[in-house]
Structure formats: structure tokens, C-alpha cells
Amino acid sequence: MFQHSYFDNKAASKVNFAYAMISKGYLRMKHYQHYINGAFCDPVSGSYFDTENPYTGQVWAKVAKGNASDVDAAVKAARAAFEGDWSAIGPTARGKLLVKLAEIIEREAVRLGKIEVRDNGKLIAEMGAQTKYLAEWYRYFGGLADKIEGSVIPSDKPGIFNFTRYEPLGVIGMITAWNSPLLLLAWKLAPALAAGNTAVIKPSEYTSASTLEFMELVEEAGFPTGVVNAITGFGLEVGAPLVDHPEVDKVAFTGSDVSGQKIYEAAAKKIMPVTLELGGKSPNIVFEDADFEAAIMGAISGIFAATGQTCIAGSRLLVQRSIHDKFVERLVEVAGAAKIGDPMSTETHVGPVTTMPQYEKIMDYIGIAKSEGATCVLGGDAYNGEGVKGKQFVQPTIFTGVNNQMRIAQEEVFGPVLSVIPFENEAEAVAIGNDIVYGLAAGVWTSDIGRALRMSEKLKAGTVWVNTYRAVSFTSPFGGYKRSGEGRESGKDAIKEFLQVKSVWIAQQTTAANPFIMR
């Protein structure tokens, strides 16, 4: 996997020591290679690109820069595996491999979490929890692998036996985002493998390291050669050739709605299915009868956790007018006390923005909000204070005086920027909540169970949380309405996204039928 190996990958303490030595110049830079056909290999071009630690701003590793030739090699390896060894393995054996992978992930969870923090700058408390939870997707879908069942259909045709069977699609291209690389990969890879498909993975160019480290775990688990492959690089050079490749049977993508639309359009030319988990501008709705402090914490969690870099961010906070001023006052007090700094520290609440382009985008939107006439009651600028090293920190920012037609309310910022919008009653809350091109998630805070049920029915979102926020599970389907996506990930529904149904008709007699009449 590495061109230069100076330490034991299995020990988290040695990993920390090695990164410290690299940053001080005592060790040469780590090089991450592609993983194709069961082996780590250099890119065809021989080129590598830098990956930076968002907290320090320093380069800590180099990553293989792939192109269409690398993609072609990976897809052909996945195709050969699909038509060969992988198809020969029964569903029960597939499930056992996934369960074994889950056990290995649990052993390596701490190390993987630290790698993700180093690569994307999110809090160790968040990423560590994600990598520890990661194994559950592989265990859950490992259990489902041999429970994919067709049906015997009572036929109205005399002498005909009709049944259905579910079959894998083939080679799945998987393109993941930089905010939660391994979790988002699990949502795709676990059900795809359980269904009998093979995979070619393209992680974000900003956060490729953990996916390539994960390939070692796949290998250790004993998956046949070519079943799982990973190619790193940029969108035009790797992502586009992967989507366009004639032997790729489906693409599962997480990212922006703009990129998702391009993938959808390219897939349409091939009549190829897709799963798209895209952006959001989720309403987090607080009624006057809500538990006040719980709602405050829910609002904080909805936007400032993960530095706002999450598709489900509750970036539009709708507060009933009767409690608006009091709620905002308390919200500013709590959010203003958030500690900004080192994401590796368990005491940090807000870490750096993962990429410089994203940082610049967030700062641009803060400027747009001010120019639109919104009132900045907290933050509103870059953060260069105590505890930071790099240049990608943004203050937790809250705007009031926002109406739902402003750009700050309609467009996804993907950062720690909250728009507070007042509403009068339930009907207005629903109208504002749904007045958006997205429909990924929504939050409702109320003590009225009737209202909770009404709101969950009327809000046009794939997930509705009531008196909680940002809860996900391997058991529950996740996906969006409208421009927030296509298809579902997680839960039993997810495995069907990677299967196609076949109807089989068997005549029980050999009597010749009239060939000119439909049976």
C-alpha cells in the first residue's frame, strides 16, 4: 500500500508518532496507491497529488492521481470477479465475509477515526464514533445476504408456473464525499456486496486516505481478488470515466446536487440506475411548546456539529414567533461558548473547514447574507484566535431577520452558518419548511404528539426527526425528496437498490399453443 513504510500500521500510537515525525521532516512522505485486483499499485501516469491536514494546513501524504486507464483496469477486475469467483460464492458465504470484515473494522476503528480526522478535520469525537459504529452496516447486511427471496406468483394462466428471483446488477461505481468517507462508503458497499455485486470506489480527492487504509481490511477479511477496488484522483479524470464506463452497471454517489445532476444525466445516456444522496437545506422547526433547552441543543447539533459540513444540517431554524427573541438570545449564548480548535482534542466543539474551496464558499455566503440585509447576531467572520493553526476556521455564525426567499435560506452553504426564520403557526411552518428545492431532512420540536404526527406527514423530506436531530442507523432507510436525491441507503430498502428482479415463467405441459396469440 505504501511506497515507504517505516512503522506498524496496526498501532494507533505508532501512527500518531509517525505523523509527528513526517511533519517535522524526519520521515519521507507517505504515498497511497490505488487498490486494483487485490493489490496496491502505482497509477498509470506515475503521478501523485498532495493531501493536507485541514487543522495544520500541512501536507501529510501523497495520493495516487488516477486517470481513465486506471479506471478501466479496476472496472475490468471488478467485472472478472463478478463473473467468476464472486458469483460462485453463495449468499451465506458472502454474508460471513461481511461479518468477518465487521469484526476487523471494530479492531481498527480507533486508528481509522484518527486517519479521518487528519484528512477531513472533523472532530475526533464525531469521527471516532462513526468508525466505531461503522461495523454495524457490514454486520447487518451480512445478515441480509442470504435472505434475499423472490416469490411464487399465483398465475391466472393455466399450466404455468411463475416465480421471481432477485439478481445482482454487476459492477457498481461508488463515489463518496469528503465529510464522512468511510461511513458514506459503508452505506453503499455493504448492501452492494451483500446483494452479490462488485465495486469500484472513487473517494473524494480531499479525503482518500481512510478508504485506501480500509482496503487492507477488505483484503484481510478474505474477499476474492477484484471484488472491491479503489481508484483515487479528481472528478474529470476518474469520476467521469467511472460513470461513463460501459461495464459499470450502476453508480452510487454522495455529494452536491450539481454533481449529482451531471451523474444523473450521464447515467441516462446509458439507461443506468443510480443512487444519489445529495444536498439539503433542512428546516429545524421549534414550536413554543417544545422543551426549551432540548430544542436549543437540537438547534446547535443541527448546524454547528461537524462544522456544519453535513448534508442533513438544520441550516434553516424556524422558531415560533412567540418565543423567537428568547430562543435566539439563549442560542447565541450557547453557540458563542463553543470551543474552536484542534479536532483531535475531545474538548473541541468546532473544527476547521475541510477544504480551502469550501472555506471560501462559506465566507462568500456570509457576505451574501449581510448584503441581503440579514442581521448577524453571532460570528460572521473567519476565526484566527487561540487554538488554531491553519487558515480554514469559520466562527459559528447566526443570522436573524432572514426571510425564506433570501439566498442564505435557499442555497446550501455547507458550513457553520444558521439562518433563523420566524413563523406564526403550524401551517406557516409547513409552508416555509417545504418551500425549498431540497427535501433531505427536517426536525420538529414539540410536546404535542398530534402535531408531531401531522408535521411528519406534511413535511416533504426523506427523514423527519421529532425532538432529536442527526440520528441515523443501519436499520433505517435514508435518502431525499426532490433535489436531495434518488433511492435509499441503509435499512432493508437499501439492498434492493443493488438488485434487479427477474420474472420466470415455466410451462407445465408440452401442448403446443397458438403462436400468434399472447399467452
Q: How many residues does the chain have?
A: 519
End-to-end CA distance of the chain: 58
Helix, strand, or coil (residue 446): coil
Task: Report which DSSP code applies to 237.
Answer: I
**Other Cβ atoms within 10 Å of 213 Cβ, number:** 20
Under a CB-based contact definition with an 8 Å cutoff, are residues 203 and 229 in contact? no
C-alpha cell at 195: 446483494
**Which amino acid is it at 214?**
F
Q: Is 219 tagged catalytic?
A: no
Q: Which of 52, 116, 237, 277 is catalytic?
A: 277
Radius of gyration (C-alpha) of the chain in whole angstroms? 24
Any long-range contacts for 461-464 (C-beta under 8 Å, 24+ apart)?
A: 461/282, 462/488, 463/312
273 to 248, 255, 257: CA distances (angstroms) = 10, 17, 17
**CA 428 – CA 474 distance, rounded (Å):** 34
**DSSP string spanning 339-390?**
PBS-TTSTT-SB---S-HHHHHHHHHHHHHHHHHT-EEEE--SB--STT--S
Residue with cell 394462466: 157
Q: Which of 237, 311, 412, 497 is catalytic?
A: 311
**Other Cβ atoms within 10 Å of 151 Cβ, number:** 12
C-alpha cell at 102: 465487521
Q: Is 41 tagged catalytic?
A: no
User: Which residues are part of the catalytic machinery?
Assistant: 277, 311
